Amino acid sequence: MLRRRLGVAAIGAVLALAVAACGGGSGSSSPSSSGDAAGGGAAATGEFNAALTGVVNPSDKKGGILKFANGGDWDSLDPGDTYYGYSWNFIRLYGRSLLMFKSAVGKEGNQLTPDLAEDLGTPSDDAKTWTYKLKKGIKFEDGTPVTSKDVKYAVERSFDKEVFPDGYTYFNDFLDWPKGYKGAYKSKDVNTDSAIETPDDSTIVFHLKQPLSNFDYFAQLPATIPVPKDKDTGAKYKEHVIATGPYKFEKNEIGKGFTLVRNEQWDPATDPNRKALPDGYEVSTNVNADDIDNRILAGDLDIDVAGIGIQSAALGRVLPDPALKANSDNPTSTRLWYTSINGNVPPLDNIDCRKAVQYATDKVSLQTAWGGEFSGGQIATSLLPPAIPGHEDFNLYPPGADNKGDLTKAKEALTACGQPNGFETNISYRAERPKEKAAAEALQQSLGRVGIKLTLKPFPQADYFALYAGKPGYAKDYKIGLAMNGWQSDWPDGFGFLQQIVDSRVIRDTGGSSNISVRDPEVDKLIDQAMKETDTNARNAIWTQIDKKVMEDSFILPNVWTKTLLVRSKNATNIFVNDAYGMYDYLGMGVK
């Protein structure tokens, strides 16, 4: 699960939600056109949400410096050790991976496009082997040509999670590594051709343990950004990453900030994806979050790089002010807040009792609990967020005209379940998260209307999955019938979003899995099918099918798809939201 810094934004006022808005979320609007890489959308004017569907302030003007700030610290600038969405968005400025997401408006940004590679991957052997050819003429910032061996080395070094604890384990888990392999540092002379082969300097071949139809998404991961072995300093490499993109590090003070300047060795001829308009970037880290908002509103700063939206203080300023609001965007991210309905806890083992929960839920009060329409989220009726291919608008449990629940249907379901007067169960949430608590309380209220009595059970966040809600034995013994939960995919793809939360095989008796409730062999079978399906459209259709199946089973009660309020820079050009990141695209921007 891609990490996303949790904002503390919350609006106090409840903003009434029009029922119609439910179907027409911003993310479901279609891309307007397909043009060049840096922003395919039509030129947009300064209206609220204009950057969701078009490019605001389009321009090809070069020069200037863009100023970014980060409320916290980067997890790491090292391509092998970074696991934040904003960092993956930003890393494209200095690093080139095999593939990348297009720098384009909305859904078009979800498309993979070759970067180091000449083309998307070529699968063979039932999608267990993937081959990429590298473009010629790509160099590191010191002028050394990039070869496939540098990519291979980069993936090998990222294997070592003791040195790079922040990263993901996709390559560790899926590639066919030799037994006992411990990564580039600890297993120096081990032959790793079983996992990655480099038959020549411009070819790289990945061998997987199992079929994986969407391996191209792996190939866009920052871990495939080449690292020159002789310049690798392990945990200290992040202090000076050797650039392949249009910018390189000039100065880097970990914990304070860094500056990027043009990388003269970057050849635009090899790179149709990047315009590289500004002359450089100034990034400050660990800046006071409210200070960032104020500086952006004042035009002293361009981007809050974390991309999680403004703080509650600024929210209260922007929303009521038409001029400020017109200069902001409210994208829906690929995060779903939901409630797991545990079929192991009677009477929720009965599907009708689970359905009663769906019908009785007041979605408006849930949305309010998560922070309201603008900084909380869009009411969710299924699992896949609108920005992820395979999303389809459907609602199996219509919550009534006012979106506050259909109590008649809920009572019918309870009767069918044999509990006409309701039942009692517990709902767990992470004690450190006030919004989860608020959502649990909202559910307690709304389910109470049909006699379903919930008792709140807070647990510490660190052990939530390992010891409590996520541990099947505990959840069953202590009757954790409902559990607050959340998920965001690492990339806009059904696999990344669904596999970890609906595949029953990831549930372990020892606990620790994010999937707490979904146990359906049909779903598991569909996942296997999708992982072998190399045709994108056919594969996306399967994800839709899985989404519907899980909703039919009623193992998950979707709450909201997170929304954030972003404020546009006063000085920047080419401002647009890229659905792949759910925030402004940092690659296309220039300076006025």
Partner 1 sequence: MVTYIIRRLIWAVVMLTIVSIITFAIFFLVPRLAGATSESLAARYVGRTASAEQVKIAADKLGFNDPLIVQYGRFAKGIVAGADYDYGPGVERCPAPCFGYSFLTRLPVWPDLLDRLPVTLSLAIGAAVIWVLAGVATGVLSALRRGSLFDRAAMGVALAGVSLPIFFTGIVSLVIFSYGHPFRITAPGGSFTPFDENPAMWAYNLILPWITLAFLYAAGYARLTRAGMLETMSEDYIRTARAKGLNERRVVVKHGLRGALTPILTIFGLDLGLLLGGAVLTESTYSLPGMGKYAIDAITNQDLPKVMGVTLVAAFFVVFANLIVDLLYAVVDPRVRLG
Identify which of residues 299 and 418 has a Cβ nearer to partner 1 in the complex.
299
Q: 347: left (phi > 0), else alpha (psi -120 to 50), else beta?
A: alpha
Which lies closer to partner 1 via its Cβ, residue 83 or residue 581? 83
Looking at beta carbons only, is 72 or 473 nearer to partner 1? 72
Residue 65 engages partner 1 in binding (rule: CB under 8 A): no
The answer to the question of residue 69 lying near partner 1 (CB under 8 A) is yes
Residue located via tokens 């180091």 = 116
Measured distance CA(86)–CA(304) in Å, rounded: 10
d(CA 207, CA 320): 55
For partner 1, the closer CB: 67 or 363? 67
One character per residue 507-546, x = contact with partner 1 (rule: CB under 8 A): ---x-x----------------------------------
CA angle 152, 157, 160 (to 5 degrees): 140
Which CB sits closer to partner 1, 230 or 535?
A: 230
Give CA–CA dist 562/373, Å, rounded. Answer: 9
Closest CB 510 distance from partner 1, rounded Å: 7
Three-state SS at 305: coil
Report if residue 432 touches partner 1, rule: CB under 8 A: no
Residues 104-163 within binding reach of partner 1 (CB under 8 A): 157, 160-163
Least distance to partner 1, CB of residue 258, Å: 12
Does 180 sit near partner 1 (CB under 8 A)?
no
- Smallest separation (angstroms) from partner 1 to the CB of 163: 4
The yes or no reply on residue 232 touching partner 1 (CB under 8 A) is yes
Binding piece for partner 1, criterion CB under 8 A, among 264-272, 291-299, 408-416, 525-533: 291-299
Rule CB under 8 A: choose which of 48, 59, 166, 316 binds partner 1.
Answer: 166
Of 347, 337, 345, 353, which Cα lies nearest the Cα of 554?
Answer: 353
> Toward partner 1, which CB reaches closer, 282 or 547?
282
Letter string b/e over residues 506-526, b meaning 16 or more CB atoms within 10 A of that residue's CB: ebeeebebbbbbbbbeebbeb
Site size for partner 1 (CB under 8 A): 51
Among 251, 256, 525, 592, binds partner 1 (CB under 8 A): 256
Cβ proximity of 333 and 4 under 8 Å? yes
Stretch that binds partner 1, among 10-18, 27-35, 250-258, 321-329 (CB under 8 A): 250-258
Task: Tell me, rounded to whole angstroms, the distance of Cα 227 from its chain centroid.
Answer: 25
Q: How far is CA 47 from CA 204, 310, 416, in A?
A: 46, 18, 50
Round to whole Å and give the CA distance between 574 and 572: 7
Whichever of 242 and 356 has its CB closer to partner 1, that residue is: 242
Binders of partner 1 among 443-482, rule CB under 8 A? 462-463, 466
Dihedral sign (CA 340, 342, 347, 351): positive
Stretch that binds partner 1, among 297-305, 353-361, 469-477, 524-532 (CB under 8 A): 297-305
Q: Which of 11, 287, 417, 450 binds partner 1 (CB under 8 A)?
A: 287
- What one-character-per-residue DSSP string does 364-391 give? HHHHHHHTHHHHTEEEPSSSS-TTSTT-
Least distance CB 449 / partner 1 (angstroms): 37
> What does 273-293 look like in DSSP terms, one character per residue?
T----SSEEEEE-S--HHHHH
What residue type is assigned to position 253 of the chain?
A: E
Residues near partner 1 (CB under 8 A): 1, 3, 67, 69, 72-73, 75-76, 83, 157, 160-163, 165-169, 185, 232-238, 253-257, 282, 284, 286-288, 290-291, 294-295, 297-301, 462-463, 466, 510, 512
